[in-house]
Amino acid sequence: MPSALRSLRGRAKLLPLTLAAAALIGFAGCDTNENADLERGRDLFVAQCGTCHALAQAGTSVEIGPDLDAAFADARASGMDNDTIEGVVQAQIANPRTVEQSDPQYDRTFMPADLVTGQDAEDVAAYVASVAGVPGAEPPPLGTPPEAFTEYCGTCHTLQAAGTAGTVGPDLDEVLPGKSAKEIEQDIVDPDAQIAQGFQPGVMPQDFEQTFGEGNALQELVRYLMQSVSGGGGGN
């Protein structure tokens, strides 16, 4: 893809958030929610939004929708405060469409309105406002393999042992039995090398090798998966 087209495409993906920010700039300095639960907001964001939006502190990297760090970095650097960003995010959750129905881009809006509502929406908005575009923001250290799987994989994949029921990606209880550790590791670090039938490429993050790169975290995750699925895997 020519670089000029990539640049234009990137700007187009950020346009809705830019317009929303401009519309809500008058709310700067107005505390929209002092009692939000940021930890719960992070969990909800990863589960409900992380399959489409990149956000460094959440450990999500898919860019079906806008990269939220890129969307808010310039605004934050220019003085937009957390309360204003929170208002922008709440507005986008409630009404993600920012174009008229006659606009050719109208049908290209993938995000449904009110994906989260009420206190859930407030918690998500407050969380995003606290971390989006913040220089150096990064996710907390990886926990145990079950915790790491639930946080990074469970929103998209079903795994009975972990109690997850995601349907964005394949059901791991069905596709992993019989696979070797090497094959499972390859599926994690290069997810588009072999796409399961019925699923689309480009959805699973491509940077899990870096995410799980510290120590032997990747190998621990692979062992956890092999032990969790019926059949146990096919050896090394």
Break the chain into its structural domains and give their ranges.
3-131, 145-228
pLDDT exceeds cutoff 60 at 2? no
Q: pLDDT for 68-103, tens place per residue?
A: 999 999 999 999 999 999 999 999 999 887 677 787
Q: Identify the pLDDT of residue 108.
A: 67
Tokens of 118: 């009420």
Compute the chain's Rg from CA coordinates.
19
Instruction: Find, among 226, 52, 47, 221, the residue nearest to 145 by Cα.
Output: 221
* DSSP β-bridge partners for residue 164: 159
If you count them, how many residues does the chain have? 236
Q: Distance between CA 29 and CA 33 in Å, rounded?
A: 12
Q: Identify the pLDDT of residue 52.
A: 85
Determine the straight-line distance between the first and last CA of the chain, rounded to whole angstroms. Answer: 39
* Cβ neighbours of 32 (radius 10 Å): 19
- Which of 47-56, 72-81, 206-215 shows the highest mean pLDDT? 72-81
Q: Identify the pLDDT of residue 15.
A: 43
Check if the beta carbon of residue 56 is closer than 8 Å to that of residue 137: yes
The reply to whether 3-131 and 145-228 are identical in fold is yes
Tell which phi-psi region holds residue 235, choosing left (phi > 0), alpha (psi between -120 and 50) or beta.
left
- What single letter denotes the amino acid at residue 208? F
pLDDT exceeds cutoff 70 at 109? no
Higher pLDDT residue, 20 or 191?
Answer: 191
Q: Distance between CA 124 and CA 130 in Å, rounded?
A: 10
> C-alpha distances in angstroms, 50 versus 28, 33, 84, 221, 224?
26, 22, 22, 20, 23
pTM of the model: 0.65
What's 60's DSSP letter?
B
Is residue 230 very low, low, confident or very high in pLDDT (cuts 50, 70, 90)?
low
What's 142's DSSP letter?
P
The CATH classification of domain 145-228, taken from the options 1.10.760, 3.30.1330, 1.20.950, 1.10.287: 1.10.760
CATH class given for the domain over 3-131: mainly alpha
Half-sphere exposure of residue 151: CA atoms within 13 angstroms, side-chain side: 22
Over range 126-146, report the average pLDDT: 91
